[in-house]
Amino acid sequence: MNTTLVTIKDLTVSVKDGNQKKYLIEQINFDIIQEHIVSLVGESGSGKTTTALCLGRLLSLALTIESGKIIFNGQDFLTLTEKQLQQFRGAEIGFIFQEPLYAFNPLLTIGFQIEEVLIAHSDRNRKQRQSRVLELLDMVRISDPMRVFRSYPHQLSGGMRQRAMIAQAIAASPKLIIADEPTSNLDVTLQAEIIELFQELNQKLHLAILLITHDLGLVRHLSDDLVVMKSGRIVEKGRTKDVLAMPRHSYTQELLEATH
């Protein structure tokens, strides 16, 4: 059954440019269905990250959500108070960014930083939390969870850090993961491993994933649905296989041709 997890409705974001207002995304509409992998693609600067940040209400202060709604599991996300929002992030949505070094605090161990999510979002005691963190590290296929638990971010390889960030993102069992170009800093072998992991988590944990990527091979292989952006607007969306089989917008055709 296709149950909608998130509805993004007429969302518009602006930035002040001197005396003028510039629109970064304009009137965008799309749904994320429970347990679906949705790819969000488009040229650089088209508004993909801005869209993702709206879903966490993580926009920088310079940007304003002018209008629109984000309905998450029936709740109007944009009207939540800061306190409700804190509860929402992590518990309902996990974030995975391109560069995990920025996501982790360099001064704290990986184990502690994943544990922090559990402190905020569960009532496990210390021992239960630590065993849950080890379980999470194992779930993202880290073969020596104890070593990683005790490591500081810079002591890990890029691939390991990426896995640790995924463990952190899924720690409080969110229903949605937002992954903004999660593999573009990794080499090809690691990319394939991380993608396989996403697929596994999607199936095992029934996670919906919003995947922002420039890799159309990945889009084709992994995603149920596809949203194509250009200059802050959605120019095409639908089931991935339908959109790729019969792209209606010239920009999508160009995208497809560029990867052949």
Give residues in contact with ligand ATP (CB under 6 A): 15, 24, 42, 44-50, 60, 62-63
Tell me how far, at minimum, the Cβ of 48 lies from Mg ion, in Å. 5
CA 26 to chain centre: 20
Residue whose CB is less far from Mg ion, 140 or 227: 227
> Residue 174: which of Mg ion, ligand ATP, none does it interact with, CB under 5 to 8 A by kind?
none
Residue 84: phi and psi, rounded to 5, are: -65, -35
Angle at 221 (CA atoms; ends 215, 223), nearest 5 degrees: 85
Residue with the two structure tokens 């922002």: 212
Order of strands, sheet of 75-76, starting from the edge strand that comes earlier in the sequence: 20-33, 4-17, 63-72, 75-76
46 binds Mg ion (CB under 5 A): no
Query: Closest Cα to residue 141, out of 100, 184, 196, 180?
Result: 196
Tell me how far, at minimum, the Cβ of 88 lies from Mg ion, in Å. 22
Tell me how far, at minimum, the Cβ of 58 lies from ligand ATP, in Å. 11
Tell me how far, at minimum, the Cβ of 144 lies from Mg ion, in Å. 33
Tell me how far, at minimum, the Cβ of 86 lies from Mg ion, in Å. 24
Residue whose CB is less far from ligand ATP, 42 or 153: 42
Q: Is residue 67 helix, strand or coil? A: strand
Query: Closest Cα to residue 6, out of 35, 42, 48?
Result: 35
> Residue 183: which of ligand ATP, Mg ion, none does it interact with, CB under 5 to 8 A by kind?
none
> Residue 63: which of ligand ATP, Mg ion, none does it interact with, CB under 5 to 8 A by kind?
ligand ATP
CB of 138 within 8 A of CB of 123? no
Residue whose CB is less far from ligand ATP, 40 or 93: 40
Query: Closest Cα to residue 115, out of 99, 136, 94, 146?
Result: 136
Q: Give the interface size with Mg ion as a residue count (CB under 5 A).
A: 2
Binding mask 98-117 for Mg ion (x = CB under 5 A): --------------------
Tell me how far, at minimum, the Cβ of 21 lies from ligand ATP, in Å. 11
Residue whose CB is less far from ligand ATP, 67 or 173: 67
Query: Which tokens hold the place of 253?
Result: 């055709």
Rounded distance between C-alpha atoms, residue 103 and residue 99, angstroms: 7
Rounded distance between C-alpha atoms, residue 192 and residue 163, angstroms: 13
191 binds Mg ion (CB under 5 A): no
Binding mask 2-41 for Mg ion (x = CB under 5 A): ----------------------------------------
Among 14, 39, 46, 49, the residue binding Mg ion under the rule CB under 5 A is: 49
Q: Is residue 44 helix, strand or coil? A: coil
Rounded distance between C-alpha atoms, residue 230 and residue 213, angstroms: 14
Binding site for Mg ion (CB under 5 A): 48-49
